[in-house]
Amino acid sequence: MAIYTDKRIQRSTKAIKAAFINCLTKKPFQKVSVTEIIRESNYNRGTFYAHFDSKEQLLQEIIDDTLQEMIEQIRVPYIKNTEVHLSQLNIEDITLFKYFQRHADLYKLLLSDHIQVDFRYQLALAIEELFIKEYQYDISSKELDLKWLYIYRSHGIAGMIIRWIEEDFKTPQSEMSKQVVELMLVSTESFRIKDR
């Protein structure tokens, strides 16, 4: 009985989330009502409130689920390793950009002005938390506080991802994978001011 109940809860939760996403493709978050969500999902108000306190909580759960899936994709190339040599990383093992293309509609929606939360910041923060929790960079600088390296790299990668999605995936995903590795490897000791 418990397994059946659990599957029923999973099914109704999934249907409500899908219905809400569908509603958000048609109108901004502020204009979507719980009534519309339950009508779209073919469930009733009681079922909605058994799972979610509000449409705000529903949206946050969708975002949390989405970001957790993204983190799992970031882990793919090194899931079985304890040490990663970036220069030897097989570009084909990086599945992150394929994942974004498969879920393009959802990410475009979450990055659009149809929702009221800052998904861009949450995306960057999720990558930052992963880097801080799971990575230990080997660096030669004694002066650099690693916290700032993690923040710099994670928010830079998030910026790349967001721009790539906003540009409708113009750069091939294999090239994006290659660029991420190159950016993780590159260091610059100087730069010149252009046109002087």
Q: Is residue 151 part of a domain?
A: yes
d(CA 171, CA 63): 25
**What is the pTM (predicted TM-score) of this model?**
0.88
Query: Under a CB-based contact definition with an 8 Å cutoff, are residues 173 and 98 in contact?
Result: yes
Query: Under a CB-based contact definition with an 8 Å cutoff, are residues 20 and 59 in contact?
Result: yes
What's the number of domains the chain is made of? Answer: 2
Q: Is residue 195 part of a domain?
A: no
Q: Is residue 150 part of a domain?
A: yes
Judgement on whether residues 29 and 82 belong to the same structural domain of the protein: no
Judgement on whether residues 11 and 62 belong to the same structural domain of the protein: no
Judgement on whether residues 58 and 140 belong to the same structural domain of the protein: yes
Q: Kindly report the average pLDDT of the chain as a whole number.
A: 91
Query: Under a CB-based contact definition with an 8 Å cutoff, are residues 24 and 106 in contact?
Result: no
Judgement on whether residues 83 and 123 belong to the same structural domain of the protein: yes
* Closest by CA position to 37, among listed 51, 50, 25, 21: 21
* Closest by CA position to 37, among listed 54, 23, 51: 23
What confidence tens digit (pLDDT) does each residue in 138-159 have?
888 888 888 898 899 999 999 9
Judgement on whether residues 75 and 159 belong to the same structural domain of the protein: yes
